[in-house]
Amino acid sequence: MSSNKPFPRNWIGTLLIALSLTLVWGCASNTEKNIEMLDKTLRVYNNAFESKSEDGGSGYVLNDYRMDYLLKYGDIQGRVSFLQAQTLNIAYFKDGKPMEISEENPEGEVDEAVITMRYKVTISPSNRLKTFIHEQRWKLKGKIWRLEPNLKPFLQ
């Protein structure tokens, strides 16, 4: 009976890699996790909004604004065609005060973000190309980012 011993060595190596990844993730600050979550939320929301999905990303909208958002989004679905969207700037805030997140200040806590977007759209019935700057205001509620929507520019 022969015994190969690669299993224990591979098992130990796998365990060490898993442990190091856990430690690295555990070392990430709350701010880094919140900003990473905001980035993921922005990608999912903007994809749903611009692709004119059924709910337009309304699951990310603050509850107080959701009904109005869905009513206006219905108009957007029928009238607006998105040609291009670009993120121009992201500004972070804590209790309404601007926060700079940088290598010098990686631990600055944030509870709000304003995302400045540039949109190129056509709006029916004119079908004329329109370019405008739009700000998305996001608020951190618990561990979830929620949008305080402003859809007026898309309906003018």
Q: pTM for the full model?
A: 0.76
Structure confidence by residue, pLDDT tens digits, 93-106: 999 999 887 655 55
Structure confidence by residue, pLDDT tens digits, 99-134: 887 655 556 688 999 999 999 999 888 878 999 999
- What is the mean pLDDT of the segment spanning 86-91? 95
- What is the mean pLDDT of the segment spanning 78-84? 92
* Partners of residue 119 on adjacent β-strands: 85, 132
Those residues whose C-beta lies under 8 Å from the C-beta of residue 34, and which sit 6 or more positions away, are 110, 140, 143, 145
Strand arrangement, sheet containing 97-99: 97-99, 80-94, 112-123, 128-141, 144-148
Those residues whose C-beta lies under 8 Å from the C-beta of residue 59, and which sit 6 or more positions away, are none
Higher pLDDT, 81 or 27: 81
* Partners of residue 86 on adjacent β-strands: 118
Domains within the chain, CATH numbers bracketed: 6-155 (3.10.450.50)
Contact 92, 112 (CB under 8 A): yes
